[in-house]
Amino acid sequence: MNVLRARCFARVLLAALCVLMQSFAVAQSLPSNVRAAFQRAAIPLDAVGIQVQEVGAHKPLLALNPSQPFNPASTMKLVTSTAALELLGPTFTWKTQVYTTGMQSGDILLGDLVIKGGGDPKLVLENFWLLLRQVRARGIRDIRGNVVLDRSFFEDSTYDPAKFDGDPLRPYNAGPDALLLNYKAFTFRFLPDAQSNTVKVATDPPVTGYAVTAPKLGGGDCGDWKQKLALRIDGNGAEFSGAYPAACGEKIWHVHPWMMPRTRYFGLVFRHLWQELGGNLRGEAVDGSVPADARLLLQWESPTLPEVVRDMNKYSNNVMARQMFLTLAAQTAQQPGNIERGRQAVMSWLASKKIDAPDLVIENGSGLSRTERIAPATMARLLATFYQSPLMPEFMSSLPLAGYDGTMRKRVQQQGVAGNAHIKTGSLNEVRAIAGYVLAASGKRYAVVCFINHGNAPRGQEAQDALLQWVYENG
């Protein structure tokens, strides 16, 4: 029995040594300047995952911990956007439908205006204004009933905007909503006036019947001016009970009014815009559903999916990614969109592409998560496989162009790889990630993935940029 145990132990030890030697061999194959950059950043190589693979090739050019699951931060959006492009199609648009109940007498609607959301990630202020103009063009001016909001396209669920980072005021913490208006955000513009010793606050979108109390004009350095404002915000108003330093000059603050019910926000914006268009609303904005006897008045369509994917990936919009993920769930399952149906849609699609992804963990499809995971090799396979898709041009054009735009506009500007790489970035506390394509000087195209999960990850940009330049020069 002891001999058998000894043999088993020896086999386990041998296997462990083989893995260790393989990891060491890969680590030694890293370009010296990349390895040195990681050393300067005090980032151990076991906290780094790399896969560099020529599209169409079976073996990687470079790999480090390729099968280990890492938190990919916002590069998870690449999974969501590629699946959406193929499953929804390049001409897909989100539909927002407007119905009426009761009867219309002249320009008076003796009933409700019912708005049914379709998950549009880009129902921003200007688009909503155009939608309301179309309602006015149908001859409706005075709505005697309510504005009924139908959000049934997404499954109703509890959402905690403070769960991710404890800062629910940040706009990226807005929850998904089948009738998401203007990302449910306010922009406050602060205009200090030294002569009157006051601060004016302009609110966008402008709303009627919502009190905004301006801060006092203060002195001292600008510093952490947002904290000095002591904002309190809910459904009744926004109060800046602190002081705004005069030294700050004019500034803006984008705020997610998390204590305000989404129906209250929608109602305030609707009423103000409707009044600007010469309309009148007697009732209120209320939640509900489209009645069986309602009549379709009009249908608003969003920009096409590739346009939305471009906005989402270039500027790493987490709210848009959540909307897209749940839309993917609703459209493929033909049921209200939820997280589980979104996961099933993505996993089924990956399987159809013959991409095995046991390492993939999806929480919301945006990367704004502590639990989402994917291995570098899986991400690289996804990129290499999608390069063969007829939708590749739409996808690649959505990725930031290194050195020029999006989240890569200030990186590698003076290096040869600038303008030759389309790279999605990802950033969380203790996470820095890049994933995308590099067109090497040789003319070959490479899928490049580099994940860093470590406390010193913010110091890893030098190493990642050096990796991109190395692929450009040596690929």
322 within a domain of the structure (yes/no): yes
Q: Judge if 236 and 363 occupy the same domain.
A: no
2 within a domain of the structure (yes/no): no
**Mean pLDDT score of the chain, rounded to an integer?**
94
**Rg of the chain taking only CA atoms, in angstroms:** 26
**Cis status, amide bond into 205, omega within 30 of 0:** yes
Q: Judge if 82 and 190 occupy the same domain.
A: no
Determine the pLDDT at residue 323: 98
Q: Judge if 77 and 209 occupy the same domain.
A: no
13 within a domain of the structure (yes/no): no
Per-residue pLDDT tens for 128-162? Answer: 999 999 999 999 999 999 999 999 999 998 899 99
Q: Lowest mean pLDDT: which of 75-84, 202-211, 397-406, 434-443?
A: 202-211
Determine the pLDDT at residue 17: 42
Q: Judge if 239 and 294 occupy the same domain.
A: no
Q: Judge if 368 and 397 occupy the same domain.
A: yes
Per-residue pLDDT tens for 358-409? Answer: 999 999 999 999 999 999 999 999 999 999 999 999 999 999 999 999 999 9
What's the CATH code of the domain at 265?
Answer: 3.50.80.20
Q: Judge if 298 and 416 occupy the same domain.
A: no
Q: Judge if 278 and 329 occupy the same domain.
A: no
* Beta-sheet strands, E only, within 302-360: none
Q: How many CB atoms lie within 10 A of CB 300?
A: 21
In which domain, by residue range, is 292 found?
95-159+261-303
7 within a domain of the structure (yes/no): no
174 within a domain of the structure (yes/no): no
Q: Does position 47 have pLDDT exceeding 70, yes or no?
A: yes
Determine the pLDDT at residue 58: 87
State the total domains in the chain: 3
Q: Does position 19 have pLDDT exceeding 90, yes or no?
A: no
Determine the pLDDT at residue 400: 98
Per-residue pLDDT tens for 311-320? Answer: 999 999 999 9
273 within a domain of the structure (yes/no): yes
Confidence band for 21, pLDDT divided at 50, 70 and 90? very low
Alpha carbon separation from 82 to 287, 347, 373, 396, 470 (Å, rounded): 33, 12, 17, 10, 27
410 within a domain of the structure (yes/no): yes
Q: Judge if 223 and 265 occupy the same domain.
A: no
Q: Per-residue pLDDT averaged across 243-269, rounded?
A: 97
Q: For residue 366, what are its two tokens? A: 């945006």
What's the CATH code of the domain at 420?
Answer: 3.40.710.10
309: left (phi over 0), alpha (psi -120 to 50) or beta: alpha
Q: Per-residue pLDDT averaged across 442-458, rounded?
A: 98
The residue whose two tokens read 């061999």 is 25
Confidence band for 78, pLDDT divided at 50, 70 and 90? very high
Report the predicted TM-score, pTM, of the whole model to 2 decimal places: 0.91
Task: For CA atoms 367, 371, 375, 376, give the dihedral sign.
Answer: positive
12 within a domain of the structure (yes/no): no
Q: Which of 188, 163, 182 is nearest to 173 (CA)?
A: 163
Confidence band for 447, pLDDT divided at 50, 70 and 90? very high
Q: Judge if 285 and 311 occupy the same domain.
A: no
Q: Judge if 365 and 282 occupy the same domain.
A: no
Q: Judge if 414 and 341 occupy the same domain.
A: yes
Q: Judge if 295 and 341 occupy the same domain.
A: no
Q: Per-residue pLDDT averaged across 217-225, rounded?
A: 95
